[in-house]
A and B are shown apart, each in its own frame.
Chain A
Amino acid sequence: MNPTLPVTAYPLRLAAPLAGFMVLFFVAPMLMLLWVSGYADPGMTQWGSLASWAKMFDAFGLGVLADTLWLGVQVTLLSLVLGYALAWTYLRLPPRLQPLVIFIVMLPLLTSVVVRTFAWIVILGRQGIVNAALLDLGWIDEPLKLLYTRSGLVVALANVQLPLMVLPLITALQRIDPNLADASASLGAGAWRTFLRVTVPLSLPGVVAGCLLTFAAAITAFISQSLIGGGQMLFMPMYLYQQASSLSNYPFAAAIGLTFLVAVLVCVSAFNALGRLSRGYAAA
C-alpha cells in the first residue's frame, strides 16, 4: 500500500492493464504502420524506401487529402448552423418538451451508421421523397440527381453527425447566465446584436467542442462517404481501403493511413488550442 496516497485517490497502477492493452494493441499497430510504409514494393521484400510516401504526396494524393478536409469543413459549417439554431431554441422550449428533443437528438447517435446512411439513400434516391415531392408539385419534370453528388453527401453527413454538434452546444448555452442577454436587451441592443455580441462569444467553448467532434467524424465517415458519395468521389478513408483491400498495396495504404492520422491529429490540436483560447475568452 502506498501510504502517501490520499484516501480519495486510487493507485495509478490500476490503469496498468488498460495501459498495457493500449500499448500492445493500439500504439504498437501504429508503429507497425510506420514500419510497413517503409517497404519499396507491394510484395514487401525491400525495406528502406520512401516510395510510398512520395506516392502519397504526389499531386493526386494531396488532392484527395485536401478534398477530404474540405468536405469536413463544409459538413461542420452546415451542422453548426443547424445545430446552433436547435440548441438555442431548445433552451427556450417549455421544460416538458425538452427531454423529447434530447431524445430525438440522441436517437441517431445510437442508431447504426449503416441504417442512417441507408435512410438518406431512400430520401435522396431517384424515387425518393425529395424527388417525389418536387415532381408532384410540378417544379421539376425529371427526377434530380441528388444521390452521388457532393451537396447530397454534405447534407446527409451534416445530419448523420448533428448530435455530436448539438449536445456540446446545449451544454455551453445552458451555462450562460440568462441575465446577460436581458442586460444587453435593456441597454438597447437588438436581438441580433445580443446574439452576436453576447450569446455567441460566450458559447464558443461549446462551438469548438462540437466542431471538433463533427469534423473528425465527417472526414472519417467511411460508410456514408462511400454509399452516398458513390464511386465518383474519392476521400482518404476509401483511398486507404482501396489500396489495402482491392489492390493489396500495403506500404502505400500504410502511408495513406499515417498521413490521414497526422492530418486528423493536427486538426484536433488546432481545435483544442482554439478551445483553450475560447474558454479563456468566455470566462473573462
Chain B
Amino acid sequence: MAAGRRSDLSSLAFTGGMSLLALLTLVLLVAPTLVVVIVSFTDGFSLKFPPPGYSLRWYRELIDASQLHFAAWNSVQVALITTLLSVLLGVSGALAIARSPAASARVLDSLFMSPLVLPALAFGFAALMTFSAVGWTVSTTTLVIGHTVVCVPYVIRTTTAALAQMDPALLESSASLGASRLYTFRRVTLPLIRPGVLAGGFIAFMSSFDNVPVSLFLRDARTDMLPIRMWQDLEGRLDVTIAALSSVIVIVTLLMMVVMERAVGLSRRLRQ
C-alpha cells in the first residue's frame, strides 16, 4: 500500500514537472512575439518594457520610412518570383523522384535537399564569387537564383510527401481507362497534390522574404532587402520603428498562416 502511494506521488511529480516545463516552453515561444507587438505601441523613445505609455507614433514613423518601403517592395518582388520558380522546378523535380525506383533518384533527392542544412552564408558567398567570375553583376536576377536554390527544398519536401500519400491505384485505373499520362496528371495527380504544393510554395515565399545569408552577398543598394535593412538598423541603434515594422510582419504572418491552415492544412504538412 505504502509503495503504491509512493509511486502515485512520483508519477504525479513527474507529470507535474513535465507539464510545468512544457508551460514554460510555451510561454517562451509566445512571449517574444507578444512583447514586440506591445512595445511597438510605446510613446517613448526606447524599447523599455512595459512601455511608459501607449501611442501610434511609431506606426506613423513607419508610414514615412521610405527606405523601409523600398526594401519591403524589393523583398516581396523577389519572394514572389522565387516562389514561382521554386514551384515550377520543385514540382517537376518531385514528380520525377518521388516514385522512381532508380538509385539516381535518391542521389538527386540528396542534391535537391542539401541547401536546407548546409550553411547558406557559405553558399551566398560562393554564388557571389561565381557570378562575378562570369561577369554578372548583382541584380534581382542573381537574388532570385540564390533564393530559389535555398527555397526549392521546401517545395520538394511537401510535394514528395503529398505524392507518397497518393494511392497508386488511382493512377493505374486512370491509365487502364485509356487516359494519357498528361491527362492523368492534370485531372488526378495535380488536384490531389495541390495542397502539398501550395503549402511548400507558402513556406518558400516566407523563407525567401526572410532570407538574410544569401541576400547579404547578392544584393546592392538598388536591391536592398527588408530583413537586411532591419538587421543593419538594429546593429546601429535599437529603433522603435523596427518594433512597429516587426509587429506588422508578425500580424501579417499570423493572418497568412490562418488562411493557409484553413486552405491546405499547413500544420499537418509542416510535420511530415
Chain A residues packing against B (C-beta within 8 Å):
1, 7-15, 17-19, 21-22, 25-30, 32-33, 36, 81-83, 85-86, 88-90, 92, 99, 101-123, 125, 127-129, 132, 159, 162-163, 167-168, 170-171, 190-192, 195, 212-213, 216, 219-220, 222-223, 226-227, 236-237, 240-241, 244-245, 250, 253-254, 257-258, 260-261, 264-265, 268
Contacts and interface: CB of A to CB of B under 8 A. Distances in A.
B243 A118 contact: yes
A237 B119 contact: yes
A82 B213 contact: no
A129 B149 CA distance: 39
A82 B21 contact: yes
B266 interface: yes
B49 A129 contact: yes
A12 B168 contact: no
B127 A110 contact: no
A171 B267 CA distance: 12
Contact of A90 (B22, B29, B89): B22
Given A22-B112, A220-B120, A112 B29 contact: no
Interface in B4-26: 7, 10-11, 13-15, 18-19, 21-26
Contact of A115 (B19, B36, B49, B90): B36
Contacts of A240: 121-122, 125
Contacts of B15: 92, 191
Q: Which 8 A-B pairs have the closest CB atoms?
A: A119-B32, A257-B122, A89-B22, A85-B21, A15-B96, A29-B126, A18-B93, A191-B14
B119 A108 contact: no
A261 B267 contact: no
Contacts of B24: 82
A109 B89 contact: no
Given A11-B96, A108-B29, A32 B249 contact: no
Among A25, A30, A216, A268, max chain B CB count under 10 A is at: A25
Contacts of A129: 31, 35, 49
Contacts of A250: 129
Interface of B: 7, 10-11, 13-15, 18-19, 21-26, 28-33, 35-36, 39, 46-50, 88-90, 92-93, 95-102, 104-105, 108, 111-112, 114-115, 117-123, 125-127, 129-130, 133, 145-146, 148-149, 152, 168, 171-172, 174-175, 181, 184, 203, 206, 209-210, 212-213, 216-217, 227, 230-231, 234-235, 238, 242-243, 246, 249-250, 253-254, 257, 261, 266-267, 270-271
Given A7-B172, A109-B270, A227-B231, A222 B213 contact: yes
A108 B268 CA distance: 16
Contact of B271 (A26, A171, A245): A171
A243 to B, nearest CB: 9
A193 B217 CA distance: 52
Contacts of A15: 92-93, 96-97, 105, 108
8 contacts: A25-B145, A25-B146, A106-B266, A107-B257, A113-B212, A118-B36, A159-B32, A268-B117
Q: Which of A26, A105, A116, A120 has the most CB of B within 10 A?
A: A26
Given A85-B21, A162-B29, A21 B126 contact: no
Contact of B49 (A128, A159, A213): A128
A266 B67 CA distance: 42
B33 A82 contact: no
B270 A220 contact: no
A138 B140 CA distance: 54
A240 B118 CA distance: 14
A220 B112 CA distance: 19
Contacts of A128: 47, 49
Nearest to B46: A127
Nearest to B120: A220
B238 A125 contact: yes
A120 B209 contact: no
A216 B118 CA distance: 8
Nearest to A240: B121
B257 A119 contact: no
Contacts of A82: 21, 24-25, 28
Q: Which of A119, A171, A257 has the most CB of B within 10 A?
A: A119
A83 B11 contact: no
Contacts of A108: 29, 32-33
A32 B130 contact: yes
Nearest to A98: B267
